[in-house]
């Protein structure tokens, strides 16, 4: 493969199309459990509301704010990367990584709080609960867990990008790569935008 600028453009276009397709597959990846959510919410409407009410709206909203802010810093980082502003790119990347990590830490405390109250699949106090509530919590742990995993992967990716930046990568294919990481990060963010109302607001 050649190393000319034209080729890099073509490769960038290909990579962008590939990334969009990958994001589409991610959407379908989350579709299955969200379809289950819809089916069970229809069947156990009352239980789902009761269980949703037990979630801490404040932590959920805080996490939403954290993730939305991280999307902003990510977008700015991509922009800075394209303009070739090396320092700003690094700073914004670091900010995004920190915000992503904060999200995970809040999520960790939220999970452990629920688990310490005996709210987790197969726990002893769980058998007495309504069936819909058991399903609600099962889906909650599965979907937020899966999403958390995606955030974690994103944080790892961005850390790699930050190290590449610190190792003085800026030209060539770096901006296109950064842009693709940004697309991924926004996709993870958008998925949370669906999860948040389904679990926290519709309670």
Partner 1 sequence: MDNAGEAVYYRNKVRGRAGVRQWIFSTDHKRIGVLYLVSVLAMFSSGVVLGVLMRLELLTPGPTLMGPQTYNSMFTLHGVIMLFLFIIPAAPGVFGNFFLPILIGANDVAFPRLNLLSWWFYMAGAAIAVASILIGAGPPDTGWTFYAPYSLFTGQDVSLALFAVFVLGLSSVLTGINFIVTVHNMRAPGMGWFRMPLFVWSIYATAWIQALATPVVGTTFLLVIAERFFGIGVFDPAKGGDPILYQHLFWIYSHPAVYIMILPAMGIITEIIPVFARKTVFGYRAIAYSSLAIAGVGSLVWGHHMFVSGYSYTAGVLFSFFTFLVAIPSAVKVFNWIATLHKGSIVFSTPMLYAFCFIFLFSIGGLTGLMLGALSMNVVLHGTYFVVGHFHYVKFGGAGFAFFAGLHYWFPKMSGRLYSRMRANIALFLLFAGFNMLYFPMFILGIEGMPRRYFDALPQYHFWQAVSIAGSWVLAAGIILMLANLVHALFRGEKAPENPWAGATLEWTIPSPPAHENFVKIPEIRRGPYDYR
Asked if 115 touches partner 1 (CB under 8 A), the answer is no
172 near partner 1, judged by CB under 8 A: no
Answer for which of 111, 141, 152, 194 binds partner 1 (CB under 8 A) is 141
The reply to whether 156 sits near partner 1 by the rule CB under 8 A is no
Q: Which string of DSSP letters, residue by residue, matches the chain?
A: ---SHHHHHHHHHHHHHHHHHHHHHHHHHHHHHHHHHHHHHHHTHHHHHHHHHTS-HHHHHHHHHHHHHHHHHHHHHHHHHHHT-HHHHHHHHHHHHHHHHHHHHHHHHHHHHHHHTT-STT-GGGGGS-HHHHHHHHHHHHHHHHHHHHHHHHHHHHHHHHHHHHTT--STTHHHHHHHHHHHHHHHHHHHHHHHIIIIIT-
Selected from 7, 24, 56, 84, the binder of partner 1 by CB under 8 A is 24
Q: How far is the CB of 142 from partner 1 (least distance, A)?
A: 6
Rounded to whole angstroms, the Cα distance separating 51 from 61 reads 17
- Near partner 1 by CB under 8 A, which window of 8-16, 62-70, 151-159, 173-181? 8-16
Kindly state the number of chain residues that form the binding site for partner 1, as judged by CB under 8 A. Answer: 38
Tokens of 48: 């789902």
Q: Does the protein bind partner 1 through residue 40 (CB under 8 A)?
A: yes
Spacing of C-alpha 167 from chain mean position: 27
29 lies in the binding site for partner 1 (CB under 8 A):
yes
Span of 87-95, 120-128, 161-169, 176-184 interacting with partner 1 by CB under 8 A:
120-128
Shortest spacing between CB 135 and partner 1, in angstroms: 5
Measured between its terminal Cα atoms, the distance across the chain in Å is 55
One of 32, 58, 128, 171 touching partner 1 (CB under 8 A): 32
Does residue 160 bind partner 1 (CB under 8 A)? no
Question: What is the binding site for partner 1 (CB under 8 A)?
Answer: 1-2, 10, 13-15, 17-18, 21-22, 24-26, 28-33, 35-36, 39-40, 43-44, 120-122, 131-132, 134-135, 137-139, 141-142, 146
């Amino acid at each position: 493969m050649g190393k000319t600028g034209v080729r890099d453009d073509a490769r960038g276009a290909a990579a962008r199309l590939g990334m969009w397709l990958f994001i589409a597959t991610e959407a379908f990846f989350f579709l299955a459990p969200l379809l289950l959510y819809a089916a069970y919410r229809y069947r156990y409407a009352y239980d789902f509301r009761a269980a949703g009410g037990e979630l801490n709206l404040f932590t959920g909203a805080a996490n939403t704010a954290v993730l939305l802010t991280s999307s902003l810093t990510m977008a700015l980082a991509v922009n800075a990367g394209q303009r070739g502003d090396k320092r700003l790119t690094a700073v914004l990347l670091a900010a995004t990584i920190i915000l992503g990590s904060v999200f995970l830490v809040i999520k960790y405390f939220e999970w452990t709080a629920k688990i310490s109250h005996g709210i987790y699949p197969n726990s002893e106090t769980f058998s007495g609960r309504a069936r819909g509530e058991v399903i609600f919590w099962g889906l909650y742990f599965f979907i937020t867990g899966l999403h958390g995993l995606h955030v974690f992967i994103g944080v790892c990716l961005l850390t790699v990008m930050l190290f590449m930046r610190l190792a003085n990568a800026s030209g060539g294919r770096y901006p296109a790569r950064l842009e693709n990481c940004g697309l991924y990060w926004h996709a993870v963010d958008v998925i949370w935008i669906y999860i948040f109302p389904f679990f926290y607001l519709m309670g």
